[in-house]
Structure 1
Amino acid sequence: MADIWENIADAIPDKPAIIYGDRRYNWAEYEDRAARVAQVLTAHGLEAGAKLAIYAYNSAEYMETQFGAFKARLCPVNVNYRYLEAELTHVINNSDSEAVVYQAQFAPRIAAIRDQLEQVKLFLEIDDGSGEHLEGAVSYEDALQAAEPMPRIERSNDDLYMLYTGGTTGMPKGVMYDHKSFATALLAKGFEMREMEPPTDASSFGPLVQQLHAANATSRAIPACPIMHGTGMWIGAMIPHSMGGAVILFNNSHFDPHALWQLAANEKATDLTIVGDVFAKPMLAALDDAKTAGTDFDLSSLQMMGSSGVMWSTEVKRGLLNHIPHIAIVDSMGSTEGSMGSSITTAENINIDKTATFEMNDTTKVLTEDGKPVAPGSGEMGMICNGGMVPLGYYKDEAKSAATFKTFDGVRYSIPGDFATVEADGSITLLGRGSACINSGGEKIFPEEVEEALKTHDSVYDCLVVGIPDDRFGQKVTAVLSLNDGAIFDETQLTTHVRSQLADYKAPRSILLVDTVPRAANGKAGYKDAKETALKMLDLVTT
């Protein structure tokens, strides 16, 4: 990726690369700052292959640090900014990170775990106006200004790229790719969406982006969702960057849909990347509000809205197209472990679009557990197997890697746990994840982690955690629990207890008291029964 972006910077040095509030960096400035980041990291002892954690909201520094890491053959590690101390410690230590680049507002959290981070050689602190500071940390901006840009070096196609995910893997794990396989697969998909042939080598990107700029055909992209996740970084930033486009960074510490639309209008954005209904519903409401008030946003430049990872309902797509009829809506099905399929909705085909129905990638199969293809129109359920962008595995977890990445008939597939049926026309209908993983607002939550946090409270005897349908967040975390004899049920106290141990978004939104938590005779969790119980207690059962 560094080779590609360096070629682009040489070809279009004066064109915009990063827009973040009042700060605007052209490609030459962006490449220069990234080279300074690379020099700072290597000067502090990070050698090729070393890992560094990035703990920040969407910002110019996030993008610069990632680019700089690639330049120095280092592996950036994304850290969810919602994590509290236990989760933060796990990701930094599990990834073997030797540096942490973070926004100053997170300094108190890092200070609380600093003595547990034995491998970290450098704390590089981004001044965000919060007034917080970690003793002994190095100022990000001061370090960049004092450094000379690191000279360009030869890199290997086998250099490691890694994205941490909390998906079906329990505690967050690093999904590993080599740079060549990752870049080839990701950019092929990005160019395909724009009906273009991708370049075959890094040196070809320069001439291509010059042509795109001459034809006024480059992107001005806003990743409205967090770039700490794959959807925001891959679709919202990496693909537009690799086509010579500008990435417009939206302050996502608090999601304001009105501010997002105004930013899109002001910056004449061409692309917006979101995460399903959790973003699209409030964005649609903001458009409705503006129309009622007679203050419609000028979105004439917008060409595409993209999403991946969670449900984006047809009703919401229809509402958006009523306001912006000229755009294409690209809904991708996939996970950090690989892309599987997509659907493209326009004003012309919205009436035949069906929620959770996708066209499979050429490399995607729906197979039974013994590796046999599911026949189209049979109604049989199978596992979605992605045979294209297949990771190397999970970092330091051979057992989970073997369970997720399997070979059938000589083809290696990624099987993250999604199940689907194959329609008669060859499209697939997503049924859901085979595990009990909960997807709430684009965040993936492993039930056992929440259950264990609840069980540490003195009043709790047993519990299960399930995802219940929610109009805005897709699913809401719901606990079904029983109490110890003589204990008093206090929902507020239990929620506060969980929030003291885990990130806020993992805390149950509802806690339901039952006499006995559903379990099989062998003690295995009865998630299906627990969910049915929760639906009945919340009066959400339909007939």
Structure 2
Amino acid sequence: MAHNFADLFEHAVDAYGDDRLAVVEGDRRLTYTGLEEEANRWSSALADLGVGAGDHVAVHLRNGVDCLALILGILKLRAVPISINYRYAGAELTYLYDYSDTCVLVFHREFGPAVTDAVTGLDTLRHTIVVEDGSDATRLPDDVLEARTVLDAASPARPAGERSADDLFLVFTGGTTGKPKGVMWRQEDLWRSLAGGADYYTGEPVPDEYHQSRSGLGGDPARYLILLPLIHTSGLMPSFTGLFTGGTMHYLPHFSATEALEEIESETIQIAVVAGDAMVRPIVERLREGGRDTSSLFMISSGAAQFSPTVKADLLGLLPDLMIMDAFGSSESGFGGLGVVTKADLDSG
């Protein structure tokens, strides 16, 4: 059997089905079966548009059910998801769509004007699909397809066919040191490095591809709040790790410290995945105002950004029972290391 992201997700679906929530975004709550059916619809819809193994599909979406289901649907087809930074505009977008050989582009309506400007004249782009997000943007590319229309006409059945551990996954650099570049990964290698395919401390591979889905059967599902964007591996890989082991992924389309704390309280979140100082500083400020029950939270996991000792100390001063995990790596190397800090560590120097 293949060590492949789509297969690993399907193993979790087979293990948990309708018995567990897989993903929560506001009022949208899908079980593992429900999330797979939505992913299967994306697979079916994209296949009907001519997408096949090795084709590139751009994901220009904010965090949420649609983004996660689309990525899983692309992987089920053995196609390649192309993560688009939703802060890009103009020439940056045109460059990335063109450089990545995107054949189908899926985007939230709020990005419609920027997308329309960027796709003009791109020969490789065959279709654009707009996902509704409550925004009122009216300028969209010519012949754009409505996501809900194509999904409602698509099959929710699991696509047939074998996949490979060698199936491609592209990780794009952030563009902070030049134009974004695509780093090519075998899916098995990325799984081993960043999505639970090996022990992070010992480096030992897990026994088999069913290990993660089995491991979550023995207890209640862990509840994750993923605040990092799914278009970044530091947001997507923790999501995959959580899904493969039967957890429940919670998402906010826009980062807000206030909304994050509200979600932690109302949904009794246990693990929050953040981008270092950039997210934790405003969370600390809101915590200092008081009035939030964060007693369910036992871990903050950070990646993709600096998490300074002073901000860690501020957070642990307010939440002394918390464990902080600080991971580092790169697009090219994957997992580079992991640090763990608790209040006891600070107190002991």
Structure-2-length-normalised TM-score? 0.92
- Tell me how far 1:76 sits from its aligned partner: 0.2
Equivalent pair of 1:105/1:132 in contact (CA under 8 Å): yes
Distance 1:351 1:259, change over 3 A: same
Partner of 2:289, secondary structure, is helix
Supply the AA of the counterpart residue of 1:344. V
Q: Who is 2:179 aligned against?
A: 171
Pick aligned residue for 1:143 from 150, 155, 160: 150
Distance 1:262 1:336, change over 3 A: same
Q: Who is 1:158 aligned against?
A: 166
- Specify every segment of 5 or more residues in structure 2 that has no aligned partner in the other structure, as ranges: none
- Deviations, residues 470-495 of structure 1 (Å, cap 9, x unaligned): xxxxxxxxxxxxxxxxxxxxxxxxxx
User: How many residues get paired?
Assistant: 340
Q: Who is 1:82 aligned against?
A: 87
- Tell me how far 1:245 sits from its aligned partner: 0.7
Equivalent pair of 1:51/1:96 in contact (CA under 8 Å): yes
Q: Who is 1:10 aligned against?
A: 14
Distance 1:352 1:55, change over 3 A: farther
- Deviations, residues 278-306 of structure 1 (Å, cap 9, x unaligned): 1111111110012xxxx1x2112112101
After TM superposition, the structure 1 stretch with the greater mean CA deviation from structure 2, 101-110 or 317-326, is: 317-326
More strand by share: 1
Q: Who is 1:524 aligned against?
A: none
Pick aligned residue for 2:240 from 238, 241, 259: 238
- Tell me how far 1:188 sits from its aligned partner: 3.8
After TM superposition, the structure 1 stretch with the greater mean CA deviation from structure 2, 313-322 or 86-95, is: 313-322
Measure, in 2, the Cα distance between the counterparts of 1:233 and 1:151: 22
Q: Who is 1:350 aligned against?
A: 346
Distance 1:309 1:129, change over 3 A: closer
- Tell me how far 1:112 sits from its aligned partner: 1.4
Pick aligned residue for 2:226 from 220, 223, 226: 223
Displacement over 6 Å in runs of 4+: 195-198
* 1:184 paired to 2:192: yes
- Deviations, residues 105-164 of structure 1 (Å, cap 9, x unaligned): 111112113223211112111011213352311111121111113523200111100121
Distance 1:146 1:276, change over 3 A: same
Q: Who is 2:70 aligned against?
A: 65
* RMSD over equivalenced CA pairs, Å: 2.0
* 1:273 paired to 2:276: no
Q: Who is 1:109 aligned against?
A: 114
Distance 1:152 1:245, change over 3 A: farther
- Tell me how far 1:206 sits from its aligned partner: 3.4
Equivalent pair of 1:71/1:153 in contact (CA under 8 Å): no
Greater RCO (Cα-Cα under 8 Å, separation 6 or more): 2
Measure, in 1, the Cα distance between the counterparts of 2:311 and 2:322: 14
- Deviations, residues 163-210 of structure 1 (Å, cap 9, x unaligned): 2113575100111101111112223478547x9986433334433322
Measure, in 2, the Cα distance between the counterparts of 1:189 and 1:29: 25
Equivalent pair of 1:187/1:198 in contact (CA under 8 Å): no
* 1:287 paired to 2:291: no
Question: What pairs up with 1:195-234 in 2 under 5 angstroms?
Answer: 199-211=206-218, 215-216=219-220, 218-234=221-237
Supply the AA of the counterpart residue of 2:279. F
Equivalent pair of 1:20/1:60 in contact (CA under 8 Å): yes
Partner of 1:125, secondary structure, is strand
- Specify every segment of 5 or more residues in structure 1 that has no aligned partner in the other structure, as ranges: 354-543
Question: What pairs up with 1:302-381 in 2 under 5 angstroms?
Answer: 302-337=297-332, 338-351=334-347
Measure, in 2, the Cα distance between the counterparts of 1:201 and 1:189: 9
- Deviations, residues 35-85 of structure 1 (Å, cap 9, x unaligned): 110111111011100011111111211100100011000100110101111
Supply the AA of the counterpart residue of 2:61. A
Q: Who is 1:128 aligned against?
A: 133
The percent of aligned pairs where both chains have the same amino acid is: 29
Partner of 1:348, secondary structure, is helix
Supply the AA of the counterpart residue of 1:332. A
Q: Who is 1:22 aligned against?
A: 27
Q: Which has the larger radius of gyration?
A: 1
Equivalent pair of 2:273/2:302 in contact (CA under 8 Å): yes
